Amino acid sequence: MTASGLLIASGLAVPLGMSLACFWPGVRERALGWIWAAPIPALLAALFARGGGIVMSPEPLRLTLALDDVGAMLLGGAALLWSAAGFYAATYLRGQPGTGRFAVWWLLTLAGSLGTFMVADMTSFYLAFSVASLSAYGLVSFETTARAKRAGDVYMALALLGEAFILLAFVILALGVPIGNPLIREAVAALPSSPLLAPALILLVLGFGLKMGLAPLHVWMPLAHPVAPMPASAALSGIIVKAGVIGLMRFLPLDAGLPGWGGGLVALGLFTAFYAVAVGITQQQVKTVLAYSTVSQMGVVAAVLGAGMAAGAPGTALLAAFYALHHLLVKGALFLGVGIVAGSAPRHRILIVLAMGVLALSLAGLPLTSGALAKYAAKPLFGDGLAAALATLSAVGSTLLMLHFLRLLREMPAADPDAAPEAGILLPWAIVALASLVMPWILFQPVAGYALADLFEAKALWTAIWPLLLGGVLAIALFRIGRALPQVPEGDVIVLAGTLWPLVQATGRQIETADRWLRQWPVASAMLIVIAISFALAL
């Protein structure tokens, strides 16, 4: 029981304790003002307790926390964003009804999501993952609009589906080890030699891909992220999707060198990246465009992981985490920023929109921003082939999408012509934005293994810039013909699934009819005899 271990444990215990304290109505009503403090221990742990660990309960449960580099990196970013967004929420939601409920869901989601970065055994991971994904339902459906309700329902259905995939995958993984609750790395180490490798990998990608938003399982994201209150959107889009990322990092046998599977994942990731851009540029809601951008970026992360797995390259997880951290902070800042822009008059906006521009283009790899760093660091994994080209091209797509976003942002109507942004929401945004610019610089060298100077070479700069330019050109074209593009509804293919709804209803009705028939006395009693006869024959 070391100090670092205790610090890590407190990272989980504090938010959970706070949510438990909300059982008392008095605490609950005041909780919103304090939720910013919940992730502080985790942040401290990320900074000071790297490499530490603690076993929370003895055999056979072995609930274990541990903080490796990958975990610490994401944990730190996530804790920072949670804290900032919490601070933001206190101002943003002030005076609204149901803030107590919001705080409870917030704290639970927070605890779960931070937990996913810290746990080392399978059961705890599943627990943390479930808590994060199920509690997020409360954030998605916080607003009581019909749109929020639909988004919440879709979110819940798919989240549960994802849980089911993951559970089965975990069960398969756990079979490889003789103990009840293995550590993740023990189970993953045994996976490549398992006869059930194929189903396990498919289930893992399905389950975690659903959380990350890999196409076509991304449908819940463009519905769910926009309807949540702004700080919650930031957390959802910035952090919760990373639960899927960390899942893939932890559970895929990245260093086993499985070219077929890795290639498949690359293909899936890149497809997602482009697909989300294509749909995203037809959207007219700022937050929806951001959600599609998240889908696209997560596609890239998946592709990074896939490329690493194909090559069996060590350090893949760290590179992917670096990319994810960049996205986490930037996307968080963007969502928080949208809230500021929406709530302030045009004359107060200029600076913010400018900063948002930098942030947005960072996602496309604007030189000297975190995006450029992340892309540069991950590039070698793709080698020189088609995948590499496509990965680079994805930056073009991102540029296009982000320019579309900036345009929508600029045109956002203001609620109040004189409103100035409050300090309570401006400050956290500024912190996150700043962190997104600074933090990757600090981490770049240890993660990527390159010197920072490499980034300033002409070749590197050009590689970062030409997609931006190409994207710019395409964007101009897009703005010309923009209105002629078909309006793809939010959540795209879910709408197709919607057409299946009458079929589902009809099946339900048929089952009811069948049930009514079976519940007739003559039928049921005849069945009784049929069953008796069948068992007599079978036994």
Partner 1 sequence: MSAPTLYGLCAAALVGIGLFGLILHPTPLRKVISFNLVGCGAFLFFGIAARRGAGAGFAGDPIPQALVITGIVVAFAATALAVALILRMLEAGASTVDAKPLPPDDLSP
Partner 2 sequence: MMPAQVAAPDGVLLILALMLPSIGLLAIFVLGHSRPERIALPVLAANLAVALIVALQVGHSGQAATYRLGGWLPPLGITLRADGLSAALIAMAALILFVVAIYARGNFASKAGGSESRQPMVFWTLLLGLSTALNTVFLAQDLFSLFVALELLTFSAVPLVCLEGSRETLRAALRYLLFALAGSVLYLIGVALLYGAYGTLDIASLHQVTRADRATSIALGLMIAGLMAKAALFPLHLWLPPAHAGAPAPASAVLSALVVKAPFFLILRLWFDVAPQPQPVIAGTMLAALGAASILVCSVLALRQARLKLMVAYSTVAQVGYLFLVFPLVMGSEAAVPWASIGWTGGVLQLVSHAFAKASMFLAAGLIAEAMGHDRIDDLGGAAEAVPISIAAFALAGLSLMGLPPAGGFVAKVMLLTAAVVSANWWIAATILAGGLLAAGYVFRVIGRAFADPAGGAPPPKAVARSRELAVLSLAGVALLLGFLPLQPFAYLGIGQGGMP
Partner 3 sequence: MSLLVDLVLVALILMAAVWTVLVRDRRDAVIAFIVLGLLLSLVWMRLYAVDVALTEAAVGGGATGLVLLRACARLLPVEAEGRLPGPGTQIAAGLLSAIAAAGLAAVVLSPPVPYPSLAALAAENIHQVGLGNPVTAVLLAYRSLDTLLEKVVLVLAVIGVWALTPDAFWGGAPGSLKSKHASGALDLLARVLPPFGIVVGIYLVWNGADHPGGTFQGGTVLAAMWLLMMMADLADPPEIRLKRLRRLVVFGPAVFIAAGFAGIFMSGWFLSYPPDYAKPIIVAVEAALALSIAVILGLLVAGPAAEPPKR
* Binding residue for partner 1, selected from 2, 57, 510, 520, defined by CB under 8 A: 520
For residue 216, whether the previous peptide bond is cis, meaning omega lies within 30 degrees of 0, is: yes
Q: For residue 78, give the 3-state DSSP assignment.
A: helix
d(CA 79, CA 283): 31
* Binding residue for partner 1, selected from 453, 484, 529, 538, defined by CB under 8 A: 529
Contacts of 428 (CB under 8 A, 6+ apart): 36, 83, 84, 85, 87, 88, 336
| Size of the residue set binding partner 2 (CB under 8 A) | 51
The residue among 50, 56, 81, 71 whose CA lies nearest residue 1 is 56
- Using CB under 8 A as the criterion, what x/- string covers residues 58-77 for binding partner 2? --xx----------------
Pairing state of beta strands 64-66 and 53-55?
A: antiparallel
Work out the angle between the directed axes of helices 241-251 and 122-140 (0-180°, nearest 10): 160
**Cβ count within 10 A of residue 260:** 11
Which residues in 413-448 are b (16+ Cβ under 10 Å) and which e? ebeeeeeebeeebbebbbbbbebbbebbeebbeebb
90 beta partners: none
Contacts of 214 (CB under 8 A, 6+ apart): 205, 268, 269, 272, 295, 298, 299, 302
Which tokens go with 100?
A: 């107590």
Task: Indicate whether 481 belongs to the interface with partner 2 (CB under 8 A).
Answer: no
Segment lying near partner 2 (by CB under 8 A), choices 12-20, 184-192, 280-288, 515-523: 515-523
Task: Indicate whether 535 belongs to the interface with partner 1 (CB under 8 A).
Answer: no
* Binding residue for partner 3, selected from 351, 458, 529, 539, defined by CB under 8 A: 529
* Binding residue for partner 2, selected from 47, 164, 350, 506, defined by CB under 8 A: 164
Which C-beta is closer to partner 2: that of 112 or that of 244? 112
* Binding residue for partner 3, selected from 501, 522, 535, 539, defined by CB under 8 A: 522
Segment lying near partner 1 (by CB under 8 A), choices 64-72, 168-176, 325-333, 509-517: 509-517
d(CA 322, CA 447): 7
d(CA 292, CA 308): 24
Which C-beta is closer to partner 1: that of 96 or that of 510? 510
d(CA 414, CA 435): 28
d(CA 88, CA 232): 10
d(CA 220, CA 223): 5
CA dist list (Å): 273 to 284, 294, 441: 19, 9, 25
Q: For residue 66, give the 3-state DSSP assignment.
A: strand
Which C-beta is closer to partner 3: that of 503 or that of 529? 529
Give the one entry of partner 2, partner 1, partner 3, none that residue 419 binds, where binding means its C-beta sits below a cut-off of 5 to 8 angstroms depending on kind.
none
Segment lying near partner 2 (by CB under 8 A), choices 211-219, 284-292, 362-370, 507-515: 507-515
Which C-beta is closer to partner 3: that of 504 or that of 526? 526
Give the one entry of partner 2, partner 1, partner 3, none that residue 3 binds, where binding means its C-beta sits below a cut-off of 5 to 8 angstroms depending on kind.
none
Task: Indicate whether 509 belongs to the interface with partner 1 (CB under 8 A).
Answer: no
Q: How far is the CB of 523 from partner 1 (least distance, A)?
A: 9
Helix (H) or strand (E) holding 464: helix 458-481
Task: Indicate whether 157 belongs to the interface with partner 1 (CB under 8 A).
Answer: no
Segment lying near partner 1 (by CB under 8 A), choices 61-69, 286-294, 444-452, 522-530: 522-530
Assess contact for 368 and 455: CB atoms under 8 A. yes
* Binding residue for partner 2, selected from 181, 316, 344, 398, defined by CB under 8 A: 181
The residue among 381, 233, 414 whose CA lies nearest residue 300 is 381
Q: How far is the CB of 149 from partner 1 (least distance, A)?
A: 25
Q: How far is the CB of 509 from partner 3 (least distance, A)?
A: 25
Which C-beta is closer to partner 2: that of 117 or that of 155? 155
The residue among 408, 388, 372 whose CA lies nearest residue 286 is 408
Site for partner 2 in 87-126 (CB under 8 A): 123, 126
Task: Indicate whether 533 belongs to the interface with partner 3 (CB under 8 A).
Answer: yes
Q: How far is the CB of 537 from partner 1 (least distance, A)?
A: 17
Which C-beta is closer to partner 3: that of 285 or that of 534? 534
Task: Indicate whether 512 belongs to the interface with partner 1 (CB under 8 A).
Answer: yes
* Residues at the site binding partner 2, with contacts judged by CB under 8 A: 60-61, 123, 126-127, 130, 134, 144, 149, 152-153, 156-157, 160-161, 163-164, 167-168, 170-172, 174-175, 180-181, 196, 508, 511-512, 514-515, 518-521, 523-525, 527-529, 531-539
* Residues at the site binding partner 3, with contacts judged by CB under 8 A: 522, 526, 529-530, 532-533, 536
* Residues at the site binding partner 1, with contacts judged by CB under 8 A: 512, 515-517, 519-522, 525-526, 529
